A and B are shown apart, each in its own frame.
Chain A
């Protein structure tokens, strides 16, 4: 049984019924980022050859490309969720908050698209 008034729902008062999804995704990303982040740091630190050809050959290996793609995209997703909560907490005023949240999605979306295109180009051999 739903005890919320239709007017309240129309005015978007009360729970938006999407809070637990955000909370759960944040933690899901966090758990995934523990091994992915440790792998990334370890991989970077143990790479003696950081010249262009060496890096391209390294990223083009599936055993690098797959975790690197996962790490980058999950990190950006986790970053979007985290920074959105900070803006929701500290940016006051409806307009500014909405604009900040849209800008945040824009930056993260652009970064994710750029990362995907870059990785596809490197793996596909487009990076001379």
Chain B
């Protein structure tokens, strides 16, 4: 097949940087992060199915510092993607689409996601210390 020289959707470098682009890019980045985390979930489920030895081995991987940092990042990505996703659904429904409201809601998403992430990490920390 010949390389088509047809118009594609415009790419980032075409645009002058605007603050409104940050929530959109963060939404994609957190989504990619969550895709990787979903593979970790499947890895964990397979280990549960394979038995106590495999589960213990995966437990050591999950307990290591780099994976713990990754999981903490996944919690932040989870909350950001969930709350920003709700905002996107509202925007799709033509709610809050004017410039001022959209700016305010994107800032609110960051604040809410940050608070939810800290609360979740505190709860997870509490669990780890207790168990």
In the complex, whether B50 has a CB less than 8 A from a CB of chain A is yes
B64-104: CB near A (< 8 Å → 1, else 0) gives: 00000000000100100010011011001000000000000
Number of A-B residue pairs, CB cutoff 8 Å, is 100
Task: State whether B46 touches A114 (Cβ < 8 A).
Answer: yes
In the complex, whether A117 has a CB less than 8 A from a CB of chain B is yes
Which of the residues B3, B48, B127, B130 comes within 8 Å of A118, measured between beta carbons?
B48
State A94–B2 Cα separation when bound (angstroms): 9
State A31–B120 Cα separation when bound (angstroms): 21
Q: Collect the chain A residues with CB atoms within 8 Å of residue B49's CB.
A: 117-119, 121-122, 126-127
In the complex, whether A100 has a CB less than 8 A from a CB of chain B is no
Nearest Cβ on chain B to A92's Cβ, whole angstroms: 8
Q: Collect the chain A residues with CB atoms within 8 Å of residue B59's CB.
A: 50
Nearest Cβ on chain B to A63's Cβ, whole angstroms: 17
Q: Collect the chain B residues with CB atoms within 8 Å of residue A34's CB.
A: 82, 85-86
Dominant secondary structure at the B interface: helix
State A55–B50 Cα separation when bound (angstroms): 13
How many residues of B are in contact with the other chain, CB < 8 A?
39
Interface positions of A (Cβ within 8 A of B): 13, 27, 30-31, 33-34, 37-38, 41, 45, 48-50, 52-53, 55-56, 59, 72, 75-76, 79, 82-83, 86, 89-90, 93-94, 107, 111, 114-115, 117-119, 121-122, 126-128
Task: Pull 6 A–B residue pairs with CB atoms less than 8 Å apart, ordered by A.
Answer: A37-B82, A41-B78, A72-B45, A75-B34, A118-B48, A127-B50
